[in-house]
Amino acid sequence: MPHFTKPAEGSWTEHFGLATEPVSYDDSISPEFYEAERDAIFRRTWLNVGRVEQLPRNGSYFTRELDAARTSVIIVRDMKGTVRAFHNICRHRGNKLVWEDYPREETSGVCRQFTCKYHGWRYDLEGALTFVQQESEFFDLDRNRFGLVPVTTDIWEGFIFVNFDPDAQPLRDYMGRLGAGLEGYPFHLMTQRHTYRAEIGANWKLFIDAFMEFYHAPVLHAKQATAEESRKLQGFGYEALAYDVDGPHSMISSWGGMSPPKDLSMVKPMERVLRSGLFGKWEGPDIGELPPGVNPSRSPSWGTDSFLFFPNFMLLVWKPNWYLTYHYWPTSYNTHIFETSLCFAPPTNAFERLQEELAVVTFKEYGLQDGNTLEATQTMIESRAVTEFPLCDQEVMLRHLHTTCRRYVAEHQAGHATPVRITAAS
Amino acid sequence: MALLPADFADLEPFTAWCLPSEKDRFAKRISSTMPELQAFYDAAFPRLQESEDYLKSVALDGISEEDRNLLWLFASLVTVSFPVEVWRQPRVPDSGASSIDVVVAPNP
């Protein structure tokens, strides 16, 4: 018996028009498919590269290594305050323009102009070429023709995105109904940020799979709860409150009884003392009414919503009023860099800072278990000893993600400029 | 010389845990033995338990050096609570060679 109501079709999977057969993971173990994804997905969709708080003043900049999109970009707030993005390449001989000691490492800072390390060519923050070393040695050099190559950029709710498709649809349209439902959430007030990064030995989609279902949670993370609570959780299993799909994007709305727990004996001594845990401080800051896209079923048991904005940007909003982001940046068909930022309203006193620390560190303990499992999965599916895998209804968003990726690749290979949207059977 | 506020003098033997970076706190945890972690936990956990009011009175704006040390000592206790309360070993079980490294952290 389901504890939470399912759609009239009897399952979420059928509700969203997805197949129920076992799936193939060929799309996660094939170098050729990954090469296709780079062009069909990472050079054709809006990619979130950071937040406006990372550019606090005019002249602030940071770089992003976007291997999957075959480039490196500079994101900068120009002297007029406009956020711009450029390919990180000098127009003279193609040297990477902005980097510190190691060309493949990202960097950030504040500057008034960009100067190439190689021959000293300079560009202002709007991308114009302003200085050429020994300019008279060149042949009719028209500086106007050699400005930095701009990358389409836009901002949604303080999140900065880039897009390498010259025909990209506007960002706000791309974010669709799920994005619109989050607008107004006070992301800008949650400026206390902890960022972690890990190199993961698995295809980028496999880690998204791990975070777009909680069917694994009562098992893989069993020891994170007290023994009695753990037995109870495994007996109960996992069911989401609701799922939703809009075009390539998807979300899971999940219950969570830990903020605060119904019974204090359910949680570890440190959680009892600090009144905090994986779900954050039990008593979060007052942020007023939540936008309609958060806890869409308006369930009193609601704990967290996980949004996947295709292809690789996840946004999790938690009941005690904080949020985190996940990004998955592919570096090959079986490796990627995972990044997460946990963002809170700034604590005012030492006790609140410790409550925050417990939430962050608890997350890290889970993340270490998740990351390790992925490598174990990748190596075995690469063995091709088994080629078909049954997915349950609580894994519906995995089917949606892999279907979406395959469709983008197929559309791109068929020569369509714009992938056809997958529509929800609503 | 005392590193902690006077009321926490009993924790002075554990000031090697006053580490401002999460990376260092975690590194010290996984390079310690269980008896070392247990001894730190047994001394510091009861003090955290009875210090909520004090810690709430410590504003982060303009925090003193001693209070900052105390904050980082208790932050170490937070990471040490996992081996002591649940794992029974310094490392996270089933985490193998995986690592997650902090790249941005607030101070404090």
CATH of the domain at A110: 2.102.10.10
pLDDT digits (tens, 9 = 90+) for A59-112: 999 999 999 999 999 999 999 999 999 999 999 999 999 999 988 999 999 999
- Are A53 and A37 found together in one domain? no
Cβ <8 Å between B103 and A196: yes
Q: Calculate how close chain B gets to A415, using CA atoms only, in Å.
A: 40
Residue A306 belongs to a domain: yes
pLDDT in tens, A360-388: 999 998 888 888 888 889 999 999 999 99
Residues 6+ apart with CB under 8 A from A64: A49, A50, A72, A73, A75, A106
- Looking at the structure, tell me whether residues A208 and A351 fall in a common domain: yes
A27 & A119 share domain: no
Q: Considering the domain boundaries, does residue A327 fall inside one?
A: yes
Residue from A39, A321, A373 nearest A200 by CA:
A373
Q: Any idea what DSSP says for residue A343?
A: E
Test A347 with B56 for CB contact under 8 angstroms. Answer: no
Q: Which among A194, A198, A223 has CB closest to B104?
A: A194
B14 touches chain A (CB under 8 A): no
Q: Return mean pLDDT, chain A.
A: 92
For residue B57, the chain A residue with the least C-alpha distance is A349
CA distance A117 to A120: 6
Residue B61 touches chain A, beta carbons under 8 Å: yes
To the nearest whole angstrom, how far is the Cα of A150 from the nearest Cα of chain B? 28
What's the rounded Cα separation, in Å, for the pair A253 and A31?
33
Residue A136 and residue A247 in one domain: no
Residue of chain A whose alpha carbon sits nearest to that of B74: A354
Triad A364, A365, A366: Cα angle to 5°: 90
Question: How far is A41 from A39, CA to CA, in rounded Å?
Answer: 6
| Vertex A158: Cα angle to A154 and A160 (nearest 5) | 40
φ and ψ of A198, to 5 deg: -145, 145
At residue A422 the predicted structure's pLDDT band, cuts being 50, 70 and 90, is very low
Q: Which of these three, A159, A185, A212, is where a domain ends?
A: A159
Chain A contact set for B64 (CB, 8 A): none
Instruction: Round to whole Å and give the CA distance between A240 and A31.
Output: 34
Model pLDDT, residue A8: 93
| Spatial separation of the C-alpha atoms in residues B25 and B77, rounded to whole Å | 9
Q: Residue A374 contacts by C-beta under 8 Å, 6 or more apart in sequence?
A: A200, A201, A202, A206, A207, A210
Q: What is the pLDDT of residue A214?
A: 82
| Same domain, residue pair A52 and A192 | no
Residue A418 has pLDDT above 60, yes or no: no
Distance CA A146, CA A253 (A): 49
Given this model, what pLDDT does residue A89 score? 98
Q: How far apart are CA A168 and CA A164, in angstroms?
A: 8
- State whether A63 and A195 are in the same domain: no
Of A84, A79, A146, A78, residue with least CA distance to A116 = A146
| Token duo for residue A110 | 């504040």
Q: How confident is the model at residue A258 (pLDDT cuts 50, 70, 90)?
A: low
Q: What is the pLDDT of residue A222?
A: 66
- Is A340 inside any structural domain? yes
pLDDT of residue A417: 54
**Given the structure tokens 């904050």, which residue do they identify?**
B71
* CA-to-CA dists, residue B107 to A119, A357, A358, B54, B60, angstroms: 38, 12, 15, 20, 10
In this prediction, what percent of chain A has a pLDDT beyond 90? 79
| A418 belongs to a structural domain | no
Q: For residues A180 and A139, state if they share a domain.
A: no
At residue B23, the pLDDT reads 95
Q: Are residues A140 and A37 in the same domain?
A: no
Residue A426: per-residue pLDDT: 36
Domain range annotation of chain B? 13-85
Residues A105-129: what's their mean pLDDT?
Answer: 96
Q: Which of A134-138, A252-256, A326-330, B49-53 has the lowest mean pLDDT?
A: A252-256
B104 in A contact zone (CB under 8 Å): yes
What's the pLDDT at A221? 64
Smallest CA–CA distance, residue B1 to chain A, in Å, is 23
- Could you give the 3-state DSSP secondary structure of residue A330? strand
- Residue A339 scores a pLDDT above 60: yes
Final residue of a domain: which of A131, A159, A187?
Answer: A159
B30 contact A CB<8A:
no
Contact assignment for A372 to B98 by CB distance below 8 Å: yes
User: Is the pLDDT reported for residue A286 higher than 50?
Assistant: yes
Domain count within chain A: 2
pLDDT at A259 over 80: no
Contact B93 A369 (CB under 8 A): yes
- Say if A165 falls within a structural domain: no
Residue A175 has pLDDT above 50, yes or no: yes
pLDDT grade for A188, boundaries at 50, 70 and 90: very high
pLDDT of res. A424: 45
- The answer on A180 and A142 residing in a single domain is no
pLDDT reported for residue A227: 72
Indicate yes or no: CB of B87 within 8 angstroms of CB of A364: no
pLDDT at A310 over 80: yes
Which of A126, A159, A192 is a domain's end point? A159
Query: A1 pLDDT band (50/70/90 cuts)?
Result: very low
| Peptide bond preceding A150 in cis form (omega within 30 of 0) | no
**Statement to judge: residues A109 and A183 lie in one domain:** no
The predicted pLDDT at position B75 comes to 98
Chain A, nearest residue to B26 by Cα: A361
Tokens 């190199």 locate to: A199
CA gap A143, A345 in Å, rounded: 46
Indicate whether A220 pLDDT > 90.
Answer: no
Nearest by CB to B52, from A193, A268, A351: name it.
A351
Q: Does B103 touch chain A (CB under 8 A)?
A: yes
Cβ of A372 within 8 Å of Cβ of B94? The answer is yes
Q: Which of the residue ranges A84-98, A244-258, B75-89 would you say has the lowest mean pLDDT?
A: A244-258
* Average pLDDT of span A150-166: 97
Of A195-204, A231-240, B10-19, B36-45, the one with minimum mean pLDDT is A231-240
How many beta-carbon pairs under 8 angstroms link A with B?
Answer: 119
Query: In chain B, which ranges are E strands?
Result: 101-104
What pLDDT score was predicted for residue A2? 59
* Cα within 13 Å of Cα(A406), Cβ side: 13
**A326 domain-assigned:** yes
Confidence of residue A200 (pLDDT cuts 50, 70, 90): very high
Residue A276: the pLDDT is 94
Under 8 Å between Cβ of A217 and A406 = no
Confidence of residue B28 (pLDDT cuts 50, 70, 90): very high
**For residue A86, what are the domain limits?**
47-159
- For residue A256, give both structure tokens: 């969570």
Say yes or no to pLDDT of B18 above 80: yes
At residue A301, the pLDDT reads 87
Nearest CA in chain B to A374: B98
pTM over cut 0.95? no
Instruction: Give the gap in angstroms from C-alpha A326 to the nearest C-alpha of chain B.
Output: 13
Q: Do B45 and A372 touch (CB under 8 A)?
A: no
Query: In this structure, are A36 and A129 located in the same domain?
Result: no
Query: Which residues make beta-bridge pairs with A122?
Result: A115, A131
Do A88 and A116 lie in one domain? The reply is yes
The whole-number pLDDT of residue A371 equals 80
**Residue of B47, B53, B100 to mutate when probing chain A, most A C-beta within 10 A:** B100
